[in-house]
Structure 1
Amino acid sequence: MNKKKQIVVIGSGIPDMISKMAIGLRKKGHETIFISLVKNQETDFLKKAYDRIISFDVKFYKINLFNLPRIFLYGIKKSFKILKLFSEIKKLRPFVVISVATPNWLCFLARKYFKNYPFVYFPFDIRSFSYKDRKEALSFGIPNFELNAEKYCFKNADGIIHKGGEDELNFLNDQVLGEKIKIKCPAINIFPYCLRELMVAVNGKNKLSRENKEIHIVYVGHIPLDETWSRGMEAITKQGIYLHLYGKTANLTKEEDSKRVEGLYPSNNKFLCIHEQVPQENLSKEVSKYDYGIYGYKIIGDKRDETDTGNKLASYLEAGLPIITFDNSGAANNILKKYNVAVIIKRSQLRNLKKVLKKNLSKNLMKNIPRAREELGIEKNIPRLENFFEQVAIYKKRKGN
């Protein structure tokens, strides 16, 4: 991909990992365009990632029969702007179109609209991994059309990007999707790579633990509210370990995200510290004062843990923090073990985490982080993506629409 190409990304609340990818592509001279369904919060970061942002700025509604009248009225109100934006979209000539799920129905519509262009499906979260079967998915409020859209995208994409292990797509859940799906198009798995501009110095001088001699752990990202996570939080803080939570939930403002967790975690627990949402550009500096980043803290694991990775892994490395993961986090651990930057524990050890960490001092792992950041830098891995896009374009040409 020596010639400048137009790369179009479509999504609702776009994950920071994908914006980092866009920054890397833009550095290589490609034109990056983001088509956003909703109003995004991290405007400054997005402007660094994309040459152009086409945003519908729609209010996010969960699609169900109750909300259909609201969605209809809202569409009428926004009709002039929508028509104007579609006129702008029609002028695009993308080399590839990358549509990010969830929601999958948006990817389904993107595939239909851009049917003449190479279409890359990026299921940032593969819904079918989260449930035992379709009945369970429906019981959690996931509509049939959303599950069918995921199946459609896997079957009809010209290329697939996924963030789990290399073999992740071999384990798609046919009990949810309704059939066994064999991926025929080009596919690439990418790690949540680090961005050089976000890296801070690796040292222990600014640590809070230097002041109070206690261990400080940080968790960034979506804060789940179910019991398995609450019990994990209790197991950590009961040992006198400080757990700092920086919530960030897609499609929610900083205020909405804070309100979401308000009252659901005990306010009298001095070892639990819930912080306001921090922009991606400032996050690594903010959390570098802690001793470890934790990948998750739920007391009971599930199938999704084995295949998943997340941008928080890169955020911790950018902040110079060793990472605590569970032994069933297969895809993440395969990478982290290679560079010796993680403390890998069994879930049963969460209740004895303080003893485990005293045997795995953060300073002994921190010295390995510079090499890991270099190898896992987005700039170093952009050529893999460029080569993948070329393969997708060839596949599309051979296959047709």
Structure 2
Amino acid sequence: MSLRRLTRRFCLTGVLALLIVGWSLPTAALGAPANRVTATADGLRLDGRPWWPSGLDAYQLATDWSVNSGCGAMVDLDAYFAALPPHSLTRFDLFAQLAVNKNTGELDFAPMDAVFAAATRHDQMVIPVLSSGEGACESGEFKDHDWYASGWRAQVAAGGLTFEQWMRTAVSRWKSSPALAGWEMVGEPESSICGDTACRWQSRICPPDAALVLRHFFDTAGAVLHRIHRAGLIWSGLAGGGQCGTAGPQYEYVGGSRHLGVLDYHDYGSDGVPLPGDQWNGLAERIRQGAVLGKPVAVNEIGQGAGSCGSLAQRAADFRTKVSGQRAAGTATALFWAFVPDPRPDECTYDIGPDDPVFDLVADLSTVTD
């Protein structure tokens, strides 16, 4: 989710962080089943059974103001997961920034461990997102062309870690969680060149090798991840709307990386329309490209404003219409942006609060076939 769509309310060395992981795996994860979720051309499977999950984007689950700098408000994890039907899917931020204890400057995994533990207690599934393309709830810096070319291995960020080191740390620690549905390395990757110091999207330049750089990133970083979690499912995180590096046929080229198991699409601005977008970058074209590659397309962000600009009931009805058509067209998931524990009913926002009728829609949509 980009900063344009949301206003979101030092340290051990990388080597030491990796050593810590070696002896501090949560005991609840030891011996737990791995790779519960798999992807086929026909969709997702959970424990070997066809699975069509719905759920929510809940980016702030790992926020704990007593420990980390946070990303939004704190969430009652048990209350959140208990409100969802079993085997729902939640996508949340698992950023290195949230693993830094603001009081000590050292790595502290407790808030993140708590998310996996709560999801497991309530028989839920989660997709952890390891980094943000726009830098939201991290440094705030946009990840540009050079970051995908080599910076992910060289640039030191939160916790004294490069992205590669954080990915190794996170995957090693939580790869055996029974709640794990796979990994998203970067949310909405885009290999643009910044045209000004703020890297505003209006001034970004898309270089000729943008698709090559993104494909190389997924090939190389994906190989690193799979050396640690051999059969771990990698979700692309792509917005799918024609962004730099994935416009038109480039989406299929980048999505063809052998390490990507699921392709993504993010759906905003077409309320109640099942298949938004044009013939080059619309959802129908992404579904077609996914079929060519033999990979499912997950609609992992669906957002619509409500509050001062519309009723919660109407938004839920529009979501229902949209997802009914998408599912019939062959999509693999429907996740709604975004759960917050403190919705702002007097403003026009994407906020989905604890009592929102979207929770009832998720219950109606989520299925596991015997």
Q: Same fold (TM over 0.5)?
A: no
Task: Please identify the structure whose Cα radius of gyration is greater.
Answer: 1
Where relative contact order (Cα < 8 A, 6+ residues apart) is larger, the structure is 2
Task: Give the TM-score normalised by the residue count of structure 2.
Answer: 0.34
Task: Give the TM-score normalised by the residue count of structure 1.
Answer: 0.33
